[in-house]
Amino acid sequence: MRRLANRPWPADKRDQAAAAERLEWLTIAFLLTIVAVIALTMGSSQAMKTAWIEDLLGLIPPIVFLVASRYASRRPDADHPYGYQRALQLSFLAASMALIVFGGYMLYDASVSLFSRHHPTIGHFTFLSHSVPIWAGWPMIAALVYSMLPPILLGRRKLRIARTLHLKTLYADATMNKDDWMTAAAAILGIIGIGLGLWWADAVAAAFISLNVLRDGVINTLRAMGDLVDGRPRDVERRQPLELERQIAAAVGAMPEVAAVSARLREDGPTFRGELFIVPANGNCSPDMAARVAQTAESIDWRLHEIAVMPVSSLEDAAAGTLP
């Protein structure tokens, strides 16, 4: 993301924002190699096919992040006076719902295989119409081991950045990458199971992987929805409220010109917006005073942004839902 809402990133966050973008490009590049390697070796294994689709789907979050974050960085204009921040959340919602659809379909496919007692046939490995004298299961396992490594390493680094920059979409993408090892492990066990004569191992592994995809889809859909319905600011990882309303009320309430204050905040992409309702001590609120109150409030947290200050006669006139 080039910019954070209407202004550039704070100096200490700029490097991380650039790093996030680089990591997402790297993720796309590595995922493409993984997709190619799995396509060359997958043969007739259901688990491999499911892992392949899951890796293809894994291309969606980074692409969404890169495209939508360019869009989201646009300055507000007449058509979109609040800016384009929501673009990222909306695209992520779409991507998560795609995961639900695909996960559900793959689960159905794996179940059909299981119930129809389909025995996967895996013979010699054929590469470009030439038969190679090893069992095709071995290149499959090698491809899966390779597919484990880049997502885990990239995911770990993206996770750290996502926590620091409060980027929920990057966080979701990073957790999905880190969980990729479970997909590869399940598929490997499935193939070994086939080798040991357990014909159902492959379908069971495929079902497990689909459930994982389905779970990722559901969790991330709920995350994306939570933001789009203007929820109060929460920690990107643990989803606990950040209690910023209380901190703001304490800081602003300490100002001599302010008799009483209440706040309401909402998540707007990676930033928080909101309104402060103040009862001025001497019944007047000059533009200077409003500016100072807003400044005090925004200094509480780097993610607070464009806090509007509303002078009211008493806190009963404040909008519903304010705190404390």
Partner 1 sequence: MRNRAVGLLVIGCLLAALLPLAGCGQFPSDPESTFNKAAKRGSLRVGVIDNPPWTTRSGAGEPIGVEPALVRAFAASHGLKVEWHWLSESECVEALKRFQLDVGIGGFTRKSPWKKEVGLTFAYATSRTVVAAAPTVPFPATLKGAVVAVPQEQVALAGLIEARGATPALSSDPAAKKSGLVAIDAADLELLGLRDTGFELRSVKRALAVPPGENGFLMRLERFLRQRADPNAVPTPSSELGGPS
Tell me the per-residue interface mask from 161 to 190 with partner 1, x by CB under 8 A, - otherwise.
--------------------x---x--xx-
Q: How far is the CB of 146 from partner 1 (least distance, A)?
A: 12
Q: CA 123 → CA 45, 143, 225, distances in Å?
A: 11, 17, 46
DSSP one-letter string for 245-259: HHHHHHHHHTSTTEE
Angle at CA of residue 72, ends 67 and 73, nearest 5°? 105
Q: How far is the CB of 180 from partner 1 (least distance, A)?
A: 11
Instruction: Kindly identify the residues of this chain, within the stretch 40-69, that bind partner 1 according to CB under 8 A.
Output: none
Stretches 98-106, 116-124, 164-172, 287-295: which one binds partner 1 (CB under 8 A)?
116-124
What tokens appear for 258 in the block?
């302010």
Query: Are 157 and 23 a contacting pair, CB within 8 Å?
Result: yes
**Of the candidates 33, 126, 295, 314, which one interacts with partner 1 according to CB under 8 A?**
126
- Token pair 């109150």 is found at 293
**Of the candidates 33, 121, 286, 299, which one interacts with partner 1 according to CB under 8 A?**
121
Stretches 67-75, 124-132, 255-263, 267-275: which one binds partner 1 (CB under 8 A)?
124-132
Q: How far is the CB of 178 from partner 1 (least distance, A)?
A: 9
Instruction: Kindly identify the residues of this chain, within the stretch 190-249, that bind partner 1 according to CB under 8 A.
Output: 192, 194-199
Cα 135 to Cα 164: distance, rounded to the nearest angstrom? 47
What tokens appear for 310 in the block?
């509303």
Cα 165 to Cα 69: distance, rounded to the nearest angstrom? 13
| Cβ closest to partner 1, residue 141 vs residue 176 | 141
What tokens appear for 164 in the block?
């620091």
Chain residues in the site for partner 1 (CB under 8 A): 118-124, 126, 129-131, 133, 135, 137, 141, 145, 148, 152, 181, 185, 188-189, 192, 194-199
